[in-house]
A = this chain, B = another copy of it.
């Protein structure tokens, strides 16, 4: 049994849904040492989130952005927390709907994802910032 915990700073992304599986894996050479285990990928923010979804067609990510903007609109008349801009309160709500972490099985040194699954960084703010992740790997090494 072996633990690895490290912080990864993702490059700044514009508002929207972004496939980041490769950006994460490239920063985790240690993953290859785990034969069986779990990877916990956690985002240390409340206005961006992580989810797993379709990894092939970029229009899926565009449709996510368009749907979430309708389901959680800006300038809803009932928002009180408005002083950080119209994108702020929707960003918090979207972040909780999607979640602050994904947990992925590790199998033979790789993320055990379905053929069509990838990790999305969901950037809900207008002004892009680098986003900090804490990745925790645990499992049996080869």
Contact = CB atoms under 8 A, between A and B. Distances in A.
A26 interface: no
A67 interface: yes
Contact of A105 (B42, B53, B97): B42
Contacts of A63: 78-81, 89, 92-93
A103 B43 CA distance: 11
Interface residues of A, number: 60
Report copies per complex.
Answer: 3
A96 B67 CA distance: 12
Contact of A37 (B3, B42, B71): B3
Given A44-B114, A71-B72, 11 more contacts: A37-B136, A46-B53, A54-B92, A59-B81, A60-B81, A64-B93, A67-B93, A96-B98, A97-B97, A97-B98, A101-B103
